[in-house]
Amino acid sequence: MPATPNAIIKDLPERFQKAKESGDLLFFPSTIHKHVEGGVEYEIRLCPALQHKPNLPTPHFDAAQDQKKAEIQQGKPDPFAPPYVPNLYIGELKDVEEDTDYVVLFNKFSVVPHHILLVTKEFHSQTAPLMSSDLVQAYQLILAARAAGQRFFAFYNCGNLSGASQPHKHLQLIPIEGDGPPIEKLARSVNLEVPNKPFTLNSLPYANHIYRLPSHLGPNSDAEELSHYLMSGFMGLLDLTISSIRHDPTYPTGPPSYNVLLTLEHIHLIPRREEWYVLKETQEKLSVNSLGYAGMLLVKSDSELEAVCKEGVSNILRGTGVGSVHDLQVQGNDGEQ
Ligand code: B4P
């Protein structure tokens, strides 16, 4: 029996506590360090406990692969396939428009309480673009959280170089304090002359494409209306992402990799050309996923934190992103594309 986004969000605190106490959900305490650079207040999360997280191999996957192949490649079963661990299972959602089913699970390796995964019930590849139903279900969860007085945002690590570690299609939703992730504050500060037109934050040293969602979208918007705006925004950004990638003659062959951030107000797409950044100071490899491009990097030791601050967050994000097309032109202000 499908649940509703409101019921999923309402039950999170109680279920999270139960999952943690059962030992099925592993919680890793962390501290946040603010790091101001280029007008952005980045949040670097230091989580030494993650050094003891079981080391799972990063699989490489392609759009054509099926679940069986994914399992063989990983050498282990798909953790997002049934039977679900009862304490990690929160409920199911059904997209009636597209007849797609989803399961909502707790992130087993939780750094932020209530971090959840929106997983397609049938196996779809993590290299596939988001579909209308993916976006609508994620947005409805964000809306439900907002109605309950909380702020969540969703992210999607798409492709081999995006920081994804699981090949089964999943979006992730994470609660955020204050008024949104650091990059969202920058996006919000842009004045758009033409609504519904993608824009870029030219002050960031890597290609990024953003679409502002209309402010009238809310709990009363039906799925058809949400789908219209979310899909037209996403498709426009995907075109720009592919075009940014085509400007890079050294971009690796294979399906494109990119990160997606979805907030109540914006969709962000950031093309990726590397998963890892090698820190010059320590030669340690830092994995960067969508959260890095939200302005929230994750480090696992004090030395890594120090090395990241020395290297500069924007240098790291430039290193794992794709050069901005804008770099080839004259530098200018943030603006429309
Ligand atoms: P992916 O898209 O494949 O990869 P990821 O978020 O980059 O996490 P990764 O697995 O690479 O972990 P990492 O050490 O970098 O997402 C897969 C998701 O499924 C992850 O959330 C994973 O934990 C979860 N998962 C794996 N096996 C599972 C299972 N059996 N059941 C349920 N869930 C399962 O990072 C460790 C954690 O920190 C990740 O959750 C990551 O999302 C999170 N994180 C990274 N940066 C962060 C930041 N700045 N702030 C807060 N959290 C952060």
Task: Report the complex ipTM.
Answer: 0.94
Residue nearest to atom 4 of ligand 1 (CA): 164
Q: Structural domains in the chain? A: 5-336 (3.30.428.70)
Each residue's pLDDT tens digit, 67-94: 555 554 556 689 999 999 999 999 999 9
Q: How buried is 72 (Cβ within 10 angstroms: 0-12 exposed, 13-18 middle, 19+ buried)?
A: exposed
Separation of 196 CA from ligand 1 center, angstroms?
A: 32
pLDDT in tens, 164-184: 999 999 999 999 998 899 999
Amino acid at 25: L
Find, among 194, 300, 211, the residue nearest to 261 by Cα.
Answer: 211
Ligand 1: which of 111, 290, 316 to mutate, most ligand atoms within 8 Å of CB? 111
Residue 117 has what pLDDT? 98
pLDDT tens, 239-259?
999 999 998 888 999 899 999
Question: How far, in Å, CA of 103 to CA of 170, rounded?
Answer: 10
Burial of 30 by CB count in 10 Å (0-12 exposed, 13-18 middle, 19+ buried)?
middle
Ligand 1 pocket, Cβ-based, cut-off 6 angstroms: 45, 50, 53, 79, 88, 105, 107-109, 111-112, 117, 157, 163-166, 172, 287, 289, 291, 296-298
Work out the average pLDDT over 289-315. 97
Q: Reply yes or no on whether the pLDDT at 332 is more than 50.
A: no
Closest CA to 87 of 130, 23, 43: 23
> pLDDT class for 330, splitting at 50, 70, 90?
very low
pLDDT digits (tens, 9 = 90+) for 29-51: 999 999 999 889 999 999 999 99
